[in-house]
Amino acid sequence: MTGHLGIGIIVFLLGGFAIKQYGWPLAHMPNGWQYPWQFISDGGHSISFYVSLMFALVSCAIPSGSFSGRMKFSAYLLFAALYVGVVYPIFAYILWNGPLARLGVQDYAGSLGVHAVGGIVGLMGAHFLGRRRTPSSGH
């Protein structure tokens, strides 16, 4: 699980935060920013980045349990990079800053944006990957 922390921080910094916050990297970036990571010098955006990063990493940890024993670690790191850098930010933008927010959708403590998205991705991934490679013994 700690493997997705390192890769997740990098991909979220390089573009995931810009997608989550503004819809698409470099599309509507404030203050004349040219790169997604220029917010680090701005205190308010820096705090928002770290909070959003933790939500993204926790959301990525949810499907990791359903992938355990079903995929190689290198494949999981690729999944984590795509999930934290693209999938989660798109859903988070749609829910918290985009069309659903304008419609008045309420998300209490990340129940839809974090837990539902992570759970649905985990369920779809477990179905796609099939049974675990090593059978579990009885308890």
Does the pLDDT of residue 36 top 70, yes or no? no
In a domain, 90, yes or no: yes
In a domain, 139, yes or no: no
Categorize the per-residue pLDDT at 28 as very low, low, confident or very high, splitting at 50, 70 and 90.
low
- CA 121, CA 102: separation in Å to the nearest integer? 25
State which residues form the domain around 44.
3-129
- CA 120, CA 83: separation in Å to the nearest integer? 12
In a domain, 136, yes or no: no
- CA 52, CA 12: separation in Å to the nearest integer? 9
pLDDT for res 50: 86
In a domain, 135, yes or no: no
pLDDT for res 137: 72
- Tokens 């921080």 sit at which residue? 9
Does the pLDDT of residue 33 top 80, yes or no? no
In a domain, 18, yes or no: yes
In a domain, 100, yes or no: yes
In a domain, 138, yes or no: no
In a domain, 134, yes or no: no
How is residue 46 written in tokens? Answer: 């820096």
Lowest mean pLDDT among 22-31, 37-46, 80-89, 125-134: 22-31
